[in-house]
Structure 1
């Protein structure tokens, strides 16, 4: 009669072999796949297909859109009085003091520009402060129409001061990670100055513009040209 220990070892080996055999046998699993998975797959496919189709359509239609824009745009005069116009504006520069310094020949470079072009005094706005005056210079309308009356304006909800020319709204999308919360996405930046600047009208006639460091131009608007 075999010892008891060897019998237990034999039974354990038989049990492990049976478990391994059961694990290797094919087994069917009953499962239910709802229609939502199919809709999600189809929706993802349609989104990718739509994006690719839109990109191809934009590329193929670019010559047609470019031609239509060229044909339908307003045309500038055939014989303009000037080939190129440069407008130089210096914030806070007093016209009377400038004329005095020009007469004393203390501003030779500005005098050369004056002799090659024109030098005139422009009436300011009421109130005569930078954001108001520059907004009227751009648009040709008074503060009641371009909506800029000062550097700051009261918030309609809290009466706290805020910028009068631009509104920047915080990011709405965010996710948390422990005690931290991170925002992502693109902030909403909106210009509060109304009316249309004169370079936009020039762009309507196909005239290229170069706007450099002009106040009250943020965020930049669509422009035929470049803007800094």
Structure 2
């Protein structure tokens, strides 16, 4: 997984930067240096070999414990886990023993007025960054050094910054999870209910038509906070392996084995006042003899984010306008759908390559600005 950390001018003391030297830091999560060394020697990674020849290639010890959010937090703050407070992907609340994401916490309003089945919040919710310490780009800001921080892990919600930042690994989907897919099928051999990374939803094909709900965020305006849902329908061609989808006035055709573009979905939480926008992709795995449909995790819409994912807030909207829509979910490659058997190797590869293509489009749009 690539994480383009920073494109910035080199730092010096003082309130403003007047230098010309520029620096790019590229971070790659989970890259094994021994494998990299072997691949460079075998000629499989010539660009990395050229970087090593022009500069240096040295081994560094990882964090303790060697977990991604811990290591990235070390890099960002210059402290170890005892300083920044991130020890793993998951922490537990000692009062309730409930697990929560180590680097951030999204909470609803603390006070509310209950009116029948409705819950009227008295105040707003919050997305809290739990990492302690100052990120290095906060120090760059103080010295007037321009910087762009792109998809660095463990930076959701992004810390306030003068530069442009986009959150990466650790950014939840619209449901507040690390990524929950949905799989719709009329196959009785596929057990309904929750699987490790998603949810299997049974459907019926009646008169060549399927009607089901897309699952959105918990509706905190309702008693018990049930998930918000929005209806969609699928008209399956009785002869050909093709289907017509209808989602909130949007219609599109998919052949068996075809992916949709991003589809925007607006979830109504409370009439008139409270709507939340997300987006997802559809994959028609099979039309006949059994209906099988994969729907990606509902991502935060970068053009109208329901949660803070960038600084300034308009930066994610600008990126989507310049480079097209993209996954905002921190770990977008759906390995859980693959391990659960909802996607096979080729289907997973197509999904992962689509994520990479988005990153490359954003890079192509942003890198000329650095030059």
TM over 0.5: yes
Distance 1:223 1:151, change over 3 A: same
Give, in whole Å, the separation in 2 of the partners of 1:85 and 1:220: 22
Match of residue 195, structure 1, among 133, 141, 145: 133
Give, in whole Å, the separation in 2 of the partners of 1:218 and 1:89: 17
Give, in whole Å, the separation in 1 of the partners of 2:57 and 2:139: 23
State the Cα deviation string for residues 72-131 of structure 1 (Å, max 9, x = none). x6244x667xx1111111111001111111121101333344455554333211110101
Match of 2:23 in 1: 85
- 8 Å contact from structure 1 (residues 210, 227) kept in 2: yes
Match of residue 110, structure 1, among 41, 48, 64: 48
Q: SS of the counterpart of 2:23?
A: coil
Give, in whole Å, the separation in 2 of the partners of 1:117 and 1:226: 28
Q: SS of the counterpart of 2:127?
A: strand
- Matching of residues 1-228 of structure 1 within 5 Å: 74-76=15-17, 83-115=21-53, 118-172=56-110, 174-176=112-114, 178-183=116-121, 185-228=123-166
TM-score (norm 2): 0.38
Identify which range, 171-180 or 186-195, moves more after superposition. Answer: 171-180
Deviation at 1:194, TM superposition (A): 0.6
Q: SS of the counterpart of 2:151?
A: coil
Deviation at 1:177, TM superposition (A): 5.0
Give, in whole Å, the separation in 1 of the partners of 2:91 and 2:34: 31
Q: RMSD across aligned C-alpha pairs, in angstroms?
A: 2.5
State the Cα deviation string for residues 46-67 of structure 1 (Å, max 9, x = none). xxxxxxxxxxxxxxxxxxxxxx
Deviation at 1:172, TM superposition (A): 3.3
Give, in whole Å, the separation in 2 of the partners of 1:113 and 1:184: 55
Give, in whole Å, the separation in 1 of the partners of 2:148 and 2:60: 22
Q: SS of the counterpart of 2:35?
A: helix
- 8 Å contact from structure 1 (residues 207, 224) kept in 2: no
Give, in whole Å, the separation in 1 of the partners of 2:98 and 2:30: 28
Distance 1:166 1:107, change over 3 A: same
- 8 Å contact from structure 1 (residues 206, 224) kept in 2: no
Give, in whole Å, the separation in 1 of the partners of 2:55 and 2:165: 23
Match of 1:40 in 2: none
Deviation at 1:176, TM superposition (A): 4.7
Q: Which has the larger radius of gyration?
A: 1
Give, in whole Å, the separation in 2 of the partners of 1:220 and 1:203: 14
Q: SS of the counterpart of 1:199?
A: helix
Q: Structure 2: 5+ residue runs without aligned partners?
A: 1-13, 167-371
Give, in whole Å, the separation in 1 of the partners of 2:58 and 2:147: 22
Give, in whole Å, the separation in 2 of the partners of 1:200 and 1:179: 44
Distance 1:199 1:116, change over 3 A: farther
Higher-helix-fraction structure: 1
Deviation at 1:173, TM superposition (A): 5.0
